[in-house]
Amino acid sequence: MVLPAVAALLATSFIPVAAAAESPRTVCRITDDRLNEISGLVADGDGYVVVNDGADDPDGRRIFFLNKRCKVTRTVAYPSRPRDTEDLARAADGTIWVGDIGDNGNSRETIGLWRLAPGARKPALFRLSYPDGARDAEALLVSGDGTPVVITKDPVTAGVYVPAEPLRADGTTPMKRAGDVPIPVTATSNPFGFAGRLVITGAAASPDGTRVALRTYSDAFEFEVTEGDVVKALTGGSARTTALPDEPQGESIAYSADGSALLTVSEGRDVPILSYPLSTPASAPSIAPSPSPSPSVAPSAAAPSPVAASFPVGAVAAGLAMIVAGGVTGLLIARRRRS
């Protein structure tokens, strides 16, 4: 089998630096039966906003507003059926963006962004198209100037896409690829094992816009943002790692309303919103981007904490990464494909 052989070979090339994982605090539990596949989360005032992951149940195809105890206080319906809503982003002016960007089969001609202005009764839909073929994505951010930023679920190295021109409601806006994000290597325990560390499943921006975070099924990676330039932070910055070990199916991440913690929630029924303290340079490794990222060996049961790694540079490492990427794509698509 290819994967164990690759992992064994790569293990001899890594110099790990361990970082301890801190236990999260439960903020509240989401018990509403309509919220059983949460994929997007943002803090909003003294409460939260959440969306389901492409809900088949019409009752779940809404934007849900929760109070600080995780109780639903109101919902907003879409004027038409979304395809696969995967993430939320909140702009500085309070506008809520819903990323209708999921595409497990890489078959969509367009993706959608739903914009809900403060106080609006329904969101407006904007359609966009990729310049290089269909992509699956589960992460959405909004830059300081209000530009949406989509981060794809490509294994090992995620693509960063932005609109190539102003959004238009009466047509399709083309996007451009603004860069790549090499996914830092860790050994954090998660239900998907090796594969769960290689794909981006959500994104978040701090309330003051000075930090953004990307998450996998196992970890969160924080980047410093200068002058609102989210793309520059992701594609050229260094990431600090916060371990999110053993979340059942973690696809959502947000900053707390005061920016002091990272919040997560998993898919499923009766799930908690968890709060993790922010990593600091002293408590977590800072991982610089690599032009040729490579996956790590799976962790042992006794060592679930994240690790940073220094990678060998060359064609062998790049080739191995591509082999693994193909296997990961098949695994995750098979697991997530809906009937």
pLDDT tens, position by position, 202-236: 999 999 999 999 999 999 999 999 999 999 999 99
pLDDT 10s digits, 121-167: 999 999 999 999 999 999 999 999 999 999 999 999 999 999 999 99
The confidence band for 57, taking pLDDT boundaries of 50, 70 and 90, is confident
The confidence band for 56, taking pLDDT boundaries of 50, 70 and 90, is confident
Question: What pLDDT shows up at residue 129?
Answer: 99
- Cα–Cα distance measured from residue 279 to residue 101, given in angstroms and rounded to the nearest whole number: 29
Question: DSSP readout, 43-96?
Answer: EETTEEEEEESS-SSGGGSEEEEE-TTS-EEEEEE-SS--S---EEEE-TTS-E
The confidence band for 7, taking pLDDT boundaries of 50, 70 and 90, is very low
Residue 15 has pLDDT above 70, yes or no: no
The confidence band for 201, taking pLDDT boundaries of 50, 70 and 90, is very high
**Percentage of residues of the chain with pLDDT beyond 90:** 73
- Cα–Cα distance measured from residue 25 to residue 41, given in angstroms and rounded to the nearest whole number: 17
Q: What is the CA radius of gyration of the chain?
A: 19
Average confidence (pLDDT) over 294-319: 34
Question: What pLDDT shows up at residue 326?
Answer: 52
Question: What pLDDT shows up at residue 22?
Answer: 74
- For the chain, give every domain's residue range: 2-336
CATH assignment, 2-336: 2.120.10
Residue 318 has pLDDT above 80, yes or no: no
pLDDT 10s digits, 157-198: 999 999 999 999 999 999 999 999 999 999 999 999 999 999
Residue 327 has pLDDT above 90, yes or no: no
The confidence band for 328, taking pLDDT boundaries of 50, 70 and 90, is low
Residue 105 has pLDDT above 50, yes or no: yes
pLDDT 10s digits, 260-290: 999 999 999 999 999 999 987 644 444 555 4
The confidence band for 55, taking pLDDT boundaries of 50, 70 and 90, is low
Question: What pLDDT shows up at residue 280?
Answer: 72
Mean pLDDT of the chain: 83
- Cα–Cα distance measured from residue 77 to residue 135, given in angstroms and rounded to the nearest whole number: 26
Question: What pLDDT shows up at residue 216?
Answer: 98
- Cα–Cα distance measured from residue 219 to residue 196, given in angstroms and rounded to the nearest whole number: 9
Name residue, tokens 């994240």.
306
Q: Within 10 Å of residue 64's Cβ, how many Cβ atoms?
A: 21
Name residue, tokens 């919902």.
75
More confident residue, 330 or 99: 99
